[in-house]
Structure 1
Amino acid sequence: LHMFYKEFGLQRFERCLKEREQLRGTVRWPIGDSVRFAAVKDEIRSGFRAIDTGTLSEGVRWLARHEQLNILQPAMYDDPHFAILMRAN
């Protein structure tokens, strides 16, 4: 996402974001059982919109929120085996 935005800008990024779904099944995505590849989330759009306006810290906050809530939480912290390992640690 970051490289696409950097290369093509916000308008094309937003226009093409939904089209990433067409890559589903062709990309190695080992967390596919818990995180759907190419799911469009509000945090992604908000993050890149903020970056595009020059509000980098807000953009980073939105993207970090996306990473935590939409990727790490379902892929790791909601996994019962991982939760047991974390409690044991």
Structure 2
Amino acid sequence: MRALFVGGVVDNSEMDLEGAQPPVHYPEDTGGGHSRYRLHQVGKQADGAVAYAVYGAPDMADDEVARIADERAYARRFEAEPEVFTH
């Protein structure tokens, strides 16, 4: 699965993630109380597998992350259906 980042210092960056489900925050546990990127959207393929996860910077509004993910056409690129992640 691919992690895609919106906003902050790693805006428009990508990386591979291990596992079947993406973590709710990235990095998962900093231990230092630092703000972390939060999961906003998950793209699932027809077989139900997670193809990508969109993480937004801590200070970004949900609507803004969704708008940018749509602009960048992540769903089309990964041939997946986007689903809003609810916390």
TM-score normalised by the chain length of structure 1:
0.27
| Structure possessing the higher radius of gyration over alpha carbons | 1
Structure number with higher strand proportion: 2
TM-score by length of 2: 0.27
